[in-house]
Structure 1
Amino acid sequence: MKTELLMIEDDHRLAQMVTEYLGQSGLQVQHVDHAAAGLQLLTQGQGAALPDLVILDLMLPDMDGLEVCRRIRALPGNAARVPILMLTAKGDPMDRVIGLEVGADDYLPKPYEPRELLARIRAILRRREGGAQPASNLLQFGTLEIDRDARTVSVAGSPAELTSYQFDLLVALAERAGRVLTREQIMEAVRGRELEAFDRSIDVHMGRIRAAIEQDVKNPKRILTVRGVGYVFAKQQD
């Protein structure tokens, strides 16, 4: 069964090149050139009809890619959790930060090598699959519950909305509760993100995770910052 991708990109020549290149690697690409068409496909898609990943251009004729990303993350059900790889011609690091803040799983500036695009797609999909399954697939810390099989997180019974990458970051920390991890160790733990990797993106994602699972984001009890080192997931119960 082929992996299915949705590419929202108004550059038809680029989209055709990407579609042909990824097709040679067993990835099937459905291309639309407007944000509205992409959102409609995601809204209508249920279960197997949803793409495995969305390749989203930042500059679209009918809507800013950041707004598209926000709307995808606000969709009901599994559609909100589809991984998003954002593409942009802008080189400003702040654009990358904003993209991650609104829910993108990864960020690739144009121009890019098709091989790098393929590598990043595979890395995101590997993280989503989760690799080898651990013996116990349910992690529980007080009112925080992490289901590694269903890839869901809940706090006191209420769902916490995280992107695919943020879920993997949370699991990586929770599996090593009580252990201080550097940013590099965290990126290695989730596998697939190259270590050239815009180190501060981890901080952006941690802020989003805290917003989803902490009662008081300004006074976190679960994910703690260790200045000059990295982060630690606190073992204490609620």
Structure 2
Amino acid sequence: MSRRILLLEDDRMLRASLGEALRIEGYAVTAAASLADARAVLRHAAPNEPIELVLLDLGLPDGDGQDLLAELRRQSNLPVIVISAREAEGQKIRLLDEGADDYLVKPFGIGELLARVRMALRRRGHASEPAILQYRHGALDIDLRARRVRRGGADVHLTPTEFDLLARLVRQAGQVVTHRQLLADVWGAEHVEQTHYLRLYMGQLRAKLEEDSAEPQHLLTEPGVGYRLAEAE
């Protein structure tokens, strides 16, 4: 199962780019833009889908991320990596002393962030599983790193949301992914009840990827639960 990361970052563009990079590497990402959103995510995380690491911005619209760090340290040893533009040495030392596992100063490279995430998970005994980046089944060929999808050797154009939905299913190919998981990971935690998004986009994906969208062979429905991508060949 993918390691689930809570990404707390109020900058929309940075949140989107970091989330995409983490998902490509095989992590399940739940994004939040405020302390209130992050607390809700942590409070309502399902027992079988726990948050296993937090990427924590400090300057947030409803407070300071260091307050959430203090709350987490009173309750758990959940790995926390601070990502902030604040570069004063005293600030970094204080937050590390207060329980942060690491501190990255913006701007930073994606490769460095991914390495720090892997290191923080290893320290807590959670080795990261290798990312599933390629998938083949029948005429369908998907390369997540290259963002390329082909059917019968021909390139298939997907919208960004269609690709994100497909990529989420690829990373758990052969397993059922629930409606709530898909909605949270692709659209955000605030959309977990809006299943009409899933129906719409799944219909669009099937129209593009299936030989017969009425009799899908790749994108399978698990009634009342979610969707499953057929196991890779």
What TM-score, normalized by structure 2, do the two folds share?
0.52
Number of the residue aligned with 1:122: 118
Instruction: Report the equivalent of 1:105.
Output: 101
Matched, 1:86 2:82: yes
Amino acid at match of 1:55: L
Identify the residue that residue 51 of structure 2 maps to in structure 1.
51
Say which structure, 1 or 2, has more relative contact order (CA 8 Å, 6+ apart).
Answer: 2
Distance (Å, rounded) in 2 between the aligned partners of 1:74 and 1:46: 20
Computed over aligned residues only, the root mean square deviation of the Cα atoms, in angstroms, reads 1.5
1:130 and 1:48, CA in 2 relative to 1: closer, same or farther beyond 3 A?
A: closer
Q: Structure 1 stretch 12-21 or stretch 121-130: which is displaced more?
A: 121-130
State the alpha-carbon separation in 1 of the partners of residues 67 and 98 from structure 2.
8
Q: Could you list the per-position Cα deviations for residues 133-183 of structure 1 after superposition, in whole angstroms to 9, with x for gaps in the alignment?
A: xxxxxxxxxxxxxxxxxxxxxxxxxxxxxxxxxxxxxxxxxxxxxxxxxxx
Q: Distance in 2 between matches of 1:27 and 1:44?
A: 19
**Paired residues of 1:83 and 1:124 also in contact (CA < 8 A):** yes
Give the aligned residue type for 1:118.
L
**What is the deviation of 1:103?**
1.5
Question: Which consecutive residues of structure 2, in runs of 5 or more, have no partner in the other structure?
Answer: 128-233
The alpha carbon displacement at 1:46 in A equals 5.4
- Equivalent residue of 1:31, what SS? strand
Gaps of 5+ in 1: 132-238
CA shift digits 1:29-73 (9 cap, x unpaired) = 110100111112212335333211000001111111111110122
Match for residue 36 of structure 1? 36
- CA distance in 2: counterparts of 1:67 and 1:107, whole angstroms: 15
What's the CA shift for 1:130?
Answer: 6.9
Inter-partner Cα distance in structure 2 for 1:122 and 1:97: 22
Verify the 8 A CA contact 2:81 2:103 in the aligned structure 1: yes
Contact 1:39–1:72, Cα closer than 8 Å, also in 2 = no
Identity of aligned residues (%): 35
Which residue of structure 2 lines up, in the alignment, with residue 15 of structure 1?
15
Query: Structure 1 CA distance, aligned partners of 2:33 and 2:68?
Result: 13
Matches of 2:38 and 2:5, distance apart in 1: 11
User: Which structure's CA Rg is the greater one?
Assistant: 2
Whether contact under 8 Å (1:5, 1:28) holds in the other structure is yes
Secondary structure in 2 matching 1:129: coil
Render the CA deviation track for 1:214-238: whole Å, top value 9, x for unaligned.
xxxxxxxxxxxxxxxxxxxxxxxxx
Which residue is 1:68 aligned to?
68
Query: Counterpart in 1 of 2:2?
Result: 2
Which deviations, in whole Å up to 9, do the C-alpha atoms of 1:58-109 show, x marking residues without a partner? 111111111111012223xxxx221100111011011111111222111111
Length-normalised TM-score, structure 1: 0.51
1:88 maps to a residue whose letter is S
